[in-house]
Amino acid sequence: MRTITVALGAKTYDIEIAAGLLDEIGPKARQLSKAVKAAIISDSNVDPLYGQRLERSLAGSGFEVTRIVFAAGEQSKNLATLGYVYDQLAEVGLTRSDLILTLGGGVPGDLGGLAAATFLRGIDFIQVPTSLLAQIDSSVGGKVAIDLPAGKNLVGSFYQPKAVFIDPALLQTLPLRFLHDGLAEAIKYGCIRDAALFEQIAAIDDDAELLAQIDSIIETCCNIKARIVENDEFDTGERMMLNFGHTIGHAIEKCCGFTTYTHGEGVGIGMVQLTRQTEKMGLTAAGTTDRLVKVLQKFALPVAAEFDPQEILQVMALDKKKSGKQITLVIIEAIGAGRLHKIEWQAIPAYIG
């Protein structure tokens, strides 16, 4: 068992990582909660695979369990699905002393977390991420949200879970494209903070080797994220570093209707696009873009996209990273050395390329 503590005063919690952990969650949740009822919020991909196992584990520790399931996909991360989840929570009579568990990738985690943050003004919740992306990023740090037609994650909150239980064995059923999707975020952590992590990933030859090393990669990423969140829970400074590749990446995802590219694919393209430009400007060490492209391509991640710069600019204008006439970008000076880079909004076209 690998344990990482996210030290946030009264909101401190542990991230536990172990193969087989899914079947141990009942007793672990019982140590954290006196709840009578537990609601599992999941989606139509993950619930059939793992919902029953989690339910059995929780029921074995005395919880009365309800499973709430919605259609899988980013298109479900909206107000209508959130409303459906609230109605289900009300129907089973969940009280403020009960417990919510989110089971799945980023969508059940973000949407279920927002339901936990707001239903009855807040119910304890536990994240049980099942995709690599959720295991190394979205389940840690308390960002919960839904999308609006105007953009991703535009309605949300900061609401820390009571625990994050990560079972890397669940990645065995994750389609390869989504394993690589999560790996793009791991590569991002390497780029901004940890050259050794970047080199570890760059030295991996194939997916079997990747899965063999995944526990240590997850631990390294969660450690980086935990330290950043401890320093800047509310995303006003250092936490923005986690957005490397996201400003352009989100815009590309949105312009392509959230269907052409996965989140990690958008981030990969965004990291390359921006780094190519900052390298040309002399802000990034020569050769960095090539190293980034090489590792992304090894895991079948796209490194470029056809896009209309004007459309990308329009989407970026709505981005949360823009404030007034300025926008804060995250750039890397070299692999492992990210930094915030505040620029005038008018200067942005040069960074898009």
Residues that bind ligand GLY (CB under 6 A): 137-138, 141, 143, 235, 239, 242
CA distance 131 to 180: 10
Tokens 């190293």 sit on residue: 291
Residue 63 or residue 244: which is nearer to ligand GLY going by CB?
A: 244
Distance in Å, CB of 226 to ligand GLY, minimum: 11
CA distance 165 to 126: 8
Residue 311 in 3-state DSSP? helix
Residue 94 or residue 242: which is nearer to ligand GLY going by CB?
A: 242
Residue 51 or residue 141: which is nearer to ligand GLY going by CB?
A: 141
Distance in Å, CB of 239 to ligand GLY, minimum: 5
Retrieve residue 181's tokens: 């999707």
| Residue nearest ligand GLY, Cβ-based | 242
Distance in Å, CB of 203 to ligand GLY, minimum: 26
Residue 153 or residue 275: which is nearer to ligand GLY going by CB?
A: 153
Distance in Å, CB of 288 to ligand GLY, minimum: 22
Inter-CA distances, 121 with 86, 96, 117, 118, 186, Å: 12, 8, 6, 5, 34
Retrieve residue 60's tokens: 């074995």
| Dihedral of alpha carbons 110, 116, 122, 124, sign | negative
Residue 65 or residue 330: which is nearer to ligand GLY going by CB?
A: 330
Q: Show the DSSP H helices in the chain as ranges.
A: 25-32, 52-60, 79-91, 106-118, 132-133, 176-193, 195-202, 207-212, 214-231, 246-255, 263-280, 288-298, 309-316, 349-352
Phi, psi of 201 (to 5 degrees): -70, -40
Retrieve residue 21's tokens: 């952990």
Distance in Å, CB of 115 to ligand GLY, minimum: 18
Residue 52 or residue 234: which is nearer to ligand GLY going by CB?
A: 234
Residue 11 or residue 30: which is nearer to ligand GLY going by CB?
A: 11
Retrieve residue 333's tokens: 């000076």
Distance in Å, CB of 258 to ligand GLY, minimum: 17
Distance in Å, CB of 17 to ligand GLY, minimum: 18
Residue 26 or residue 161: which is nearer to ligand GLY going by CB?
A: 161
CA distance 245 to 330: 7
* Crossing angle (nearest 10°) for helices 176-193 and 214-231: 50
- In 23-175, where do the E strands start and end? 37-43, 64-70, 99-104, 124-129, 143-148, 151-158, 163-166
Distance in Å, CB of 217 to ligand GLY, minimum: 17
